[in-house]
Structure 1
Amino acid sequence: MRVVDSHLHLWDPWDLEYEWLEGPMLGRFAEEELFEEQLPGVSEEVAIFVQAETVEHAFVDEVAWVDEIADAARVVAIVAGARLDRGAAAAELLERLSEHERVVGVRHLLQGERAGLAASAEFVAGARLVADRGWTFDACVRAHQISDVTALAAAVPELRIVLDHLGKPAVGTAERPLRPSAEWLRDLHGFAARPLTHVKLSGLPAEAAGEWSPEQMTPFLDAALDAFGPDRLMWGSDWPVSSIGVGYQAGARARWFRAVRDWSASRGVSAEALFWSTPLAFYGIR
């Protein structure tokens, strides 16, 4: 079985500057640490690195750092950090990022931004620059912001957008699981109605603070399948974020892999597509 981890983070707070790392997150998670978390029963494993939210002035430095360890970490492509609402500065940043061959897309982390930013004129202008390069956009939002990304998809229909972590729905915990909300289901289907959109089956363990069960996650995975169909789904580990609850949990990456693999088999979803060909096609990797 071949696997593309479509959502992998790497960071080193002693090499780059971050403002959000604290507690068990505040440590080095890079190629050596990832080596200890290889997936079981996999014949080939590669990954898409997704920006780990360095401070803004270090976005290019982060890409250069990942390039240095990419072979050891089996990173075949990079989704770089960018602020798309910066006008000429955004265009300049995209030009600098294009000097790195592994860059295939960008992520402007939206989950902490004001409502409506993704649909603003400034953001749409930046998103058009991304689309003009043939790059992708990773949308990391909370559930109430999904409709903003749908508006972005309508404004820039040629932009390939993937919704990270299913839009971060409230999932509860293993002891107190929640069902998918009507609002999240509505907005997920609204986003999926745009033809170039995809979704990552990733990040749900982090939304449960690491306390989750496969049965708890099944309704959310089913909802994604119902909205997007089997050909616009991709698996991601969200390592190491989804491996950290109150402390780092060794083996959590493999546990999420097994849960989604078993779910996909039970639903007749092609493992080759979910874990390999769909993410490669979306990110334009050959």
Structure 2
Amino acid sequence: MTIDSHQHFWKYEPIKHEWIDDSMSVIRRDFLPSDLIEVYKANGIDGCVAVQADQTLVETDFLLDLAKENAFIKGVVGWADLRSENIDALLEEYHSNQKLKGWRHIVQGEADHNFLLRPDFLRGISYLEKYDYAYDILIFPHQLGATLEFVKQFPHQKFVIDHIAKPCIKDGFFEGWAVLMKEIAKHENVSCKISGMITEADFDSWKPTEITPYMDLVLSAFGADRLMFGSDWPVCLVAGNYGDVKGLVTDFISGLSENEQKAIMGDNALKFYNL
């Protein structure tokens, strides 16, 4: 199966979605399964993982309802306040829903560079393994140092770095990001989504050749068995269409073995999220 490991749905609300700034005005509208299913038919995608874009339990329930109604949504990565004193009980409550596969916090939006290392957050993360939940790490490059210390503390927890940690492709920044990504990749419980890249380049003029060094690095560091294709639809639409995003990855991995290509384009996501 070909699985998109990372996409979003929302009913657009200007205040709730204030992160969609003027440069991204093309996605200031609703995006629902009826929009995506046609895109998937056109691009040969069999299913997806829907990932939270809003930090509320209402968002988690919204995605789970969509997954219940749409079989192609194979799994959901929701949000819960992992800092909550009652987090264990909450995780247990959601555990009966088999489409709920993991959790994410929008760490990239936290002013504290060391947010991941806060004691209350670490406590919340410590309960995830008990329920076989994955955790998606959404960060900017300046948070990679804290991320390295973070993953060291949970050697058996399934982690995946979203969007190759959002390197500043547009500005050509590479070395500092690369050094820390290689260190993080030494922890075999950490995977990486090869996603969200064209929106870190120049929206209007990006070229595959600019992005290839970043893909080379994560392939070398994580290997084909720990990379997952993701579109980041509909966010990707500010810099291209779905075919552009898929083609960027499939062209890049075309020289790998058939099994390695299948792993990146679906098998790894199936295994990681227990889809």
TM-score between both structures, scaled by the size of structure 2: 0.89
The aligned counterpart of 1:151 is 149
- The Cα of 1:282 is off from its aligned counterpart by 0.9
Find the aligned partners of 1:13 and 1:181 in 2 and give their Cα distance. Answer: 34
Find the aligned partners of 1:191 and 1:232 in 2 and give their Cα distance. Answer: 12
Find the aligned partners of 2:117 and 2:40 in 1 and give their Cα distance. Answer: 39
The aligned counterpart of 1:185 is 178
**Structure 1 counterpart SS, 2:247:** helix
- The Cα of 1:87 is off from its aligned counterpart by 2.5
Structure 2 residue 91 is matched with structure 1 residue 107: no
Contact 1:31 1:69 in 2 (8 A): no
Q: Amino acid of the residue matched to residue 278 of structure 1?
A: N
Find the aligned partners of 1:63 and 1:99 in 2 and give their Cα distance. Answer: 15
Contact 1:60 1:97 in 2 (8 A): no
- The Cα of 1:267 is off from its aligned counterpart by 4.5
**Structure 1 counterpart SS, 2:62:** helix
Residue deviations 1:112-154 (CA, integer Å, cap 9, x gap): 1111111221111101111211110000100111222222211
- The Cα of 1:82 is off from its aligned counterpart by 2.1
Equivalent of residue 272 in structure 2, options 274, 282, 286? 282
Structure 2 residue 193 is matched with structure 1 residue 204: no
Equivalent of residue 266 in structure 1, options 252, 255, 267? 255
Find the aligned partners of 1:33 and 1:170 in 2 and give their Cα distance. Answer: 30
Structure 2 residue 211 is matched with structure 1 residue 213: no
- The Cα of 1:280 is off from its aligned counterpart by 0.8
The aligned counterpart of 1:62 is 62
Find the aligned partners of 1:63 and 1:240 in 2 and give their Cα distance. Answer: 15
Find the aligned partners of 2:69 and 2:169 in 1 and give their Cα distance. Answer: 34
The aligned counterpart of 1:52 is 53
Residue deviations 1:161-209 (CA, integer Å, cap 9, x gap): 000000000001xxxx62x521101110111011100000000111125
Q: Amino acid of the residue matched to residue 274 of structure 1?
A: I
Q: Aligned pair count?
A: 268
Gaps of 5+ in 2: none
The aligned counterpart of 1:25 is 27
**Structure 2 counterpart SS, 1:38:** helix
The aligned counterpart of 1:134 is 132
Q: Amino acid of the residue matched to residue 40 of structure 2?
A: Q
Q: 1:57 to 1:263 in 2, by over 3 A?
A: closer
Residue deviations 1:190-243 (CA, integer Å, cap 9, x gap): 110111000000001111253321111110000001111121111000000111
The aligned counterpart of 2:3 is 4
Equivalent of residue 236 in structure 1, options 230, 240, 250? 230
The aligned counterpart of 1:36 is 38
Q: Amino acid of the residue matched to residue 163 of structure 2?
A: H
The aligned counterpart of 2:115 is 117
- The Cα of 1:69 is off from its aligned counterpart by 3.7
Gaps of 5+ in 1: none
Find the aligned partners of 1:219 and 1:58 in 2 and give their Cα distance. Answer: 39
The aligned counterpart of 1:96 is 93
Q: 1:39 to 1:191 in 2, by over 3 A?
A: farther
Find the aligned partners of 2:43 and 2:120 in 1 and give their Cα distance. Answer: 46
Find the aligned partners of 2:124 and 2:95 in 1 and give their Cα distance. Answer: 15
Find the aligned partners of 1:28 and 1:93 in 2 and give their Cα distance. Answer: 29
